[in-house]
Amino acid sequence: MRIHARPGAKRDVIEGFKAEADGTTALRVAVRAKAEAGKANAAIVELLAETWRLPRADFTLVLGAGSRRKLFHLAGEPMALLAKLEGWRRQWMERQ
């Protein structure tokens, strides 16, 4: 899962989707934690795990530990994850 991080924000929130320069789409995530010593990365995992009701251990940062552009791997059965995330996306879009 591609994430565009915004550390040092006023609140922890999933802000939406962001078109990246390479043509991909990333989930834009703001967290209050500063981008130091992995605090923002941990806050992103905490927010996503809580939002999607997944164990924090299911998230692995693959790329971008020191960057705003991140790539996370989500462990689990692919079709179940896809259904969960698609359901969340539909609810999120309805609230916008």
What pLDDT score does 72 carry? 97
Look at the pTM and tell me if it is higher than 0.85.
yes
Domains of the chain: 2-95 (3.30.1200.10)
Place of tokens 């999933």: 14
Among 54, 92, 78, 93, residue whose Cα is nearest residue 44 = 54
What does the alpha-carbon distance between residue 4 and residue 29 come to, in Å, rounded to a whole number?
6
What does the alpha-carbon distance between residue 10 and residue 20 come to, in Å, rounded to a whole number?
23
Read off φ and ψ for residue 2, nearest 5 degrees.
Answer: -85, 135
What pLDDT score does 93 carry? 85
**Structure token digits, residue 52:** 């999607």
Per-residue pLDDT of the chain (96 residues), as tens digits, is 999 999 999 999 999 999 988 999 999 999 999 999 999 999 999 999 999 999 999 999 999 999 999 999 999 999 999 998 999 989 888 887
What pLDDT score does 55 carry? 96
